[in-house]
Chain A
Amino acid sequence: MTEMGDAGRMGQVTLAGDAVLRFAPHVRFRFDEVRQAWVVLAPERLLLPDEQAVEILQLVDGNRDVDNVVKELAGRYDAPREVIAGDVVAMLKDLVDKKVLRR
């Protein structure tokens, strides 16, 4: 994911497998017709997710927990869950730290 503007940083928040995530209020995940790409608009932040990140974010719906997001993606790619889990949890945790996503 490319972040325009602010530098990311390490957070201390942990993210459990049964955490159900949703977009924080006033964060918009939408398709931009001009760029023909998905964008995340947030206070003072603008994220341009790559294809993989878009797939993950489309599963963040306020119903699925993190384990189920991983399970869904592991099924799609026919890949071991623990391989998928590392990338997915790292990305989601980073977005929780940045207050783009919340529990």
Chain B
Amino acid sequence: MIAIEPPLALLAELTHRCPLRCPYCSNPLELAGASLELDTAAWKRVFSEAAGLGVLQVHFSGGEPLVRRDLVELVRHATEVGLYGNLITSGIRLDADRLRALVEAGLEHVQLSLQDSEVTSGDRIAGLAGAQETKRRVAGLVREAGLPLTVNAVVHRQNLERLDEIIELAVTLGADRLEVAHVQYYGWALPNRDALLSSRDQLETATAAIEAARARLAGVMTIDYVLPDYHAHRPKACMGGWGRRFINVTPAGKALPCHAAETLPEIHFPSVTEASLSEIWYRSPAFQRFRGTAWMPEPCRSCDRREIDWGGCRCQAFALTGDSGRTDPVCALSPDHDLLAAAARDAEAASADFVYRQHSTTSRGLRELVSASDPVR
């Protein structure tokens, strides 16, 4: 039995509301409306409990965290309890006054998303006219505020050909770090896989471009590169292993070992409104479910990499095979590995049309029903 270490980081998904509609959003297909979100007091309690549990960094995420009117208050509280705060944002709605307030509240770092280097394509992928121009403005504000800036560019078949331009734009924006991440196929990306999945040729060109840029930009901008699972032979150590390093809290308060874990149907994830983070981390069946190596099937169980990749990603195993307890099909030793090549072949023949992230029509219909029956309105 491996001793359970305290978590290192908390991903705080403050809201699912977002002005952008990126078709690879990692949020679940069933988005939580504003009325379901944890309130200010509940989030503050979560941050206090996280710090007490040993969490060191908090990532304020969403959706778009700036949509929360209490964001400055939440950042201040997280700072007061000793957490290192990172804002993961699209930049939309960020102005100089709000940023100044966030810095004064103790925010340490901003990660700004970038959909493309090219304006028309950037706005199209974001699903919002003017989104691309906002990135330039916001990057400037972050630099003026003296905060470190990371640009996060999600790459896929529809923007990979401009990777060099994306890298140059990140330099122009004054980024200290650029994260180039190939789409991971969970959440909204999975139904859009055929429109987004890159080919092996595109991947090899991109990887070479990254290596060249790293050499060229050493000391100017560091580049982190997240490889695409679908062209890999060994799985990633997803979240550093289930329940080993990360804890994720959804807008409605569910505690998850990773942001996609709610896609796994047979697990009951506890809510922070019902139990403390410490109880959830150390004792909940959900966090024990795939922790360590005892749950593993072959070929993982006897593999000498079982404590390197921890069996890969449970959500990917479920998404591709329907069984969350199987070896991640990304592993070349998995009996399901050929599913990835089949997906890549399907995507090559597919069109570039994708479905934007959106709140489901059912919940929209319900909201309309409620407002229509409200006599005040």
Q: CB within 8 Å of B: which residues of A?
A: 4-7, 9, 11-13, 24-26, 28, 32, 34-35, 39, 41, 43-44, 46, 97-99
Known pairs A43-B86, A97-B222, A99-B148 / 16 extra A-B pairs, C-beta < 8 Å: A4-B8, A4-B245, A7-B224, A12-B215, A12-B218, A13-B218, A24-B148, A25-B146, A26-B109, A28-B108, A32-B54, A41-B56, A44-B177, A44-B179, A99-B176, A99-B177
B148 adjacent to A46 (CB under 8 Å): no
Report the minimal beta-carbon distance from A34 to chain B, rounded to whole angstroms: 4
B57 adjacent to A13 (CB under 8 Å): no
Q: Decide if B214 is an interface residue (CB 8 Å cutoff).
A: yes
Interchain CA distance A98-B176 in the complex, whole Å: 10
A-B contacts at CB below 8 angstroms, number: 64
Interface string of B210-236 (1 = CB under 8 A from A): 000011001100101000000000000
What are 10 of the A-B contact pairs (CB < 8 Å)?
A: A4-B240, A5-B240, A12-B218, A28-B84, A34-B53, A39-B56, A41-B84, A43-B109, A44-B150, A44-B179
Contacts of B147 in A (CB 8 A): 26
A32 adjacent to B176 (CB under 8 Å): no
Interchain CA distance A21-B177 in the complex, whole Å: 20
Using known A-B contacts A4-B240, A6-B224, A97-B219, determine if residue A43 contacts B245 with beta carbons closer than 8 Å.
no
Q: Decide if B272 is an interface residue (CB 8 Å cutoff).
A: no
Q: Decide if B312 is an interface residue (CB 8 Å cutoff).
A: no
Q: Which of A32, A44, A97 contacts B224 (CB 8 A)?
A: A44
A43 adjacent to B240 (CB under 8 Å): no
Q: Decide if B154 is an interface residue (CB 8 Å cutoff).
A: no
Which residues in window 195-218 of B have CB below 8 A to A?
A: 214-215, 218
Q: Decide if B91 is an interface residue (CB 8 Å cutoff).
A: no
**Considering only CB atoms, which chain B residue lies closest to A24 in the complex?**
B148
**Considering only CB atoms, which chain B residue lies closest to A7 in the complex?**
B224
A43 adjacent to B218 (CB under 8 Å): no
Report the minimal beta-carbon distance from B281 to chain A, rounded to whole angstroms: 12
Chain A contact residues, majority secondary structure:
loop
Q: Which of B9, B150, B176, B222 contacts A46 (CB 8 A)?
A: B9
A11 adjacent to B218 (CB under 8 Å): yes
Interface string of B138-158 (1 = CB under 8 A from A): 000000001110100000000
Contacts of B48 in A (CB 8 A): none
Q: Decide if B6 is an interface residue (CB 8 Å cutoff).
A: yes
Q: Decide if B250 is an interface residue (CB 8 Å cutoff).
A: no
Count how many chain B residues have C-beta atoms less than 8 Å from C-beta atoms of the other chain: 28
Q: Which of B57, B179, B240, B245 contacts A41 (CB 8 A)?
A: B57
Contacts of A12 in B (CB 8 A): 215, 218-219
Using known A-B contacts A4-B245, A97-B219, determine if residue A43 contacts B177 with beta carbons closer than 8 Å.
yes
Report the minimal beta-carbon distance from B277 to chain A, rounded to whole angstroms: 13
Q: Decide if B184 is an interface residue (CB 8 Å cutoff).
A: no
Q: Decide if B111 is an interface residue (CB 8 Å cutoff).
A: yes
Interchain CA distance A42-B52 in the complex, whole Å: 20
- Which residue, of A7, A34, A98, has the highest number of chain B Cβ atoms within 10 A? A34
Interchain CA distance A24-B147 in the complex, whole Å: 11
B218 adjacent to A34 (CB under 8 Å): no
A9 adjacent to B214 (CB under 8 Å): yes
Contacts of B215 in A (CB 8 A): 12
Contacts of A7 in B (CB 8 A): 224
A13 adjacent to B219 (CB under 8 Å): yes
B6 adjacent to A34 (CB under 8 Å): yes
Q: Which of A25, A34, A46, A97 contacts B57 (CB 8 A)?
A: A46
**Considering only CB atoms, which chain A residue lies closest to B219 in the complex?**
A13
Which residues in window 169-185 of B have CB below 8 A to A?
A: 176-177, 179
A34 adjacent to B54 (CB under 8 Å): yes
Contacts of B222 in A (CB 8 A): 9, 97-99
Q: Which of B56, B214, B219 contacts A32 (CB 8 A)?
A: B56
Report the minimal beta-carbon distance from B240 to chain A, rounded to whole angstroms: 7
Using known A-B contacts A12-B219, A99-B222, determine if residue A44 contacts B53 with beta carbons closer than 8 Å.
no
Contacts of A25 in B (CB 8 A): 146, 148
Report the minimal beta-carbon distance from B216 to chain A, rounded to whole angstroms: 9
Contacts of A41 in B (CB 8 A): 56-57, 84, 108
